[in-house]
Amino acid sequence: MCVTENMERLALGIDLGGTKILTAIISARGEILSRDYRATPVQEGPDGVVKAIVDSANVVLGQAGIAITDIEAVGIGAPGISNPDTGSILTSPNLPGWCNVPLRDMVADKLDIKCFLVNDANAAALGELSFGAGRGAHNFIYVTLSTGIGGGIVVDGRVYSGATGFAGEIGHMTIDDDGPLCNCGNKGCWEALASGSALETEARRWVEEGATTTILACAGGELDKVTARVVQVAAEQGDELAQKLIARTGRYVGVGLANLINIFNPELIVIGGGLSNMGDVLLKPAFKEAEERAYKASWQAVRFARAELGADSGVLGAAVFAFREGS
């Protein structure tokens, strides 16, 4: 495809994660022209990560046969608390040691092009809104159930970013004031009760306490190999404790969903993330719990959809953000 001849608008999307970087050249219609995956060199600090981003950008430009001048803008989706106005990452659990890093300007200096920074979960919401399960919706919430819980809130067709850009941290709403400690330092956050790592922690605790279960055997007898996926395998093989733990996680998912439904009265909730791939065993108890807790009228107004873009939602949304902010 010769993109320079048909003058299609193009952006460069970057999905920066704690373990990998996905970079892609993306058209305004959401087509991915080229992509590059590479590990995030977190141990090399911001300078090393920026170098990896720039190298990756040059690879995707080369693959697509275009120059940086053919690109309208660059969108960077990054984890943690970032300020879209200043383009700085204030803090990020996935990027240890990063404090007030002016990531947007560091990348812009190296690539010599306009860059924009957006929170990764907000980027994923924007991706689903533009090209995925959220198409046509005006008020929806994107929930990613994964190692942690993230999300993006779309109000009247735009991602709601709050007064200073930090909105949408749905994983850190308090569900249990005396619940387990969360990575953020608070107790009983949604993420500390309903995420993949919460399920993993709970399963390990039961195994350590000597519960009758095949979970440890499914992990090859090694406690530190007990993961959410292992619990799922044990549950599928009929292990009762594993099934109970997943159902419990699902109920906590439902408590958080009910809160979101009552606060936002969304028309749609899009659910993505690796943990959601468990499907009914997790989501059935979640929906049952949410239905019991939410206002009936709001429950009747909401529909649920699975995220459609998979691992591409963040990079597509970062490109959408670049198109919107750059024009």
Interface residues with Zn ion (CB under 5 A) are 172, 182, 184, 186, 189
Residue 94 or 130: which CB sits closer to Zn ion? Answer: 94
**In 10 A of CB 58, how many CB atoms?**
15
What sign results for the dihedral spanned by CA atoms 109, 114, 29, 61?
negative
DSSP letter string, 102-146: -HHHHHHHHHTS-EEEEEHHHHHHHHHHHHSTTTT-SSEEEEEES
Min dist. Cβ of residue 122 to Zn ion (A): 17
State in angstroms the smallest separation of the CB of 187 from Zn ion. Answer: 8
**DSSP state letter for 59:** H
CB-side neighbour CA atoms (13 Å) of 217: 9
Q: Cβ of 126: how many Cβ atoms within 10 Å?
A: 29
Give least dist CB 186 to Zn ion, A. 5
Min dist CB 120 to Zn ion, Å, is 16
Query: Which CB atom, from 170 or from 261, has the smaller least distance to Zn ion?
Result: 170
User: Which one, 134 or 152, has the nearer CB to Zn ion?
Assistant: 152
User: What's the alpha-carbon Rg for the chain, to the nearest Å?
Assistant: 20
Residue 92 or 232 with smaller CB distance to Zn ion: 92
Tell how strand 20-27 and strand 32-39 pair up.
antiparallel
Residue (26 or 194) nearer to Zn ion, CB? 194
